[in-house]
A and B are shown apart, each in its own frame.
Chain A
């Protein structure tokens, strides 16, 4: 079974500043996908960014980017120019290439200070 670990229960960031959320995972597989999901108080899980393990290049989506270190099994999310609307719980998730279910970490709550 895959284990996804998010070691930061809470993070706080000043508006317009940058925050980095950490995620590590444990797997014996070489082909997999990693995701960051955002869950605001409305509870809907929204996909923020996705990374294929076979791609060397780090994924980027507007103000969101990842630092994927395959050897270290690390997948951190950087939120640049933080906005009040970024406040939410963020989940790191893993999905094997041969599987369909997502394995989630425990989440990191991000607070944005005005």
Chain B
């Protein structure tokens, strides 16, 4: 596609429910990132994939958070037993190859609200 696509755009869930957020990166992009952005704050790194391999998950806040990218393209971020503090915008980004000079292209994000 032309850009990084995320779905759903908005998600409302009750506390304790499981949610799944989808990211479709730019075609051919090797690197994929997830960030969490609390209201009025800058994004914070959650996890990084190179192709299907999850190379860094140090930013995941708890073991309730799980991300996968089984075929090296689409990625899913799953949050189990959601809590109110999970409410945030979840941004996905991709880049063509791995490297610090490579720009990360962001999607529009999914705004998650936990009631």
Contacts and interface: CB of A to CB of B under 8 A. Distances in A.
B109 interface: yes
Nearest to A98: B100
Contacts, number: 64
Contact of B56 (A43, A44, A96, A101): A101
A102 B104 contact: yes
Interface stretch (B12-20, B38-46, B71-79): B38-46
A47 B93 CA distance: 12
Given A42-B108, A45-B91, A100-B48, A106 B33 contact: no
B100 A106 contact: no
Contact of A97 (B43, B59, B91, B100): B100
B44 A104 contact: yes
Contacts of B42: 4, 91, 93, 104-107
Given A101-B33, A104-B43, A105-B42, A45 B106 contact: yes
Contact of B43 (A50, A100, A102): A102
Interface residues of A, number: 28
A78 to B, nearest CB: 20
Contacts of B106: 37, 44-46
Nearest to A45: B106
A82 B85 CA distance: 37
A53 B37 CA distance: 26
6 tightest Cβ-Cβ pairs between the two chains A and B? A104-B42, A45-B106, A101-B45, A43-B109, A44-B108, A97-B100
Given A42-B108, A44-B107, A50-B101, 18 more contacts: A4-B42, A33-B100, A33-B101, A44-B108, A45-B91, A47-B105, A52-B101, A91-B43, A93-B42, A97-B100, A98-B100, A99-B100, A100-B99, A101-B33, A101-B56, A102-B35, A102-B104, A104-B44
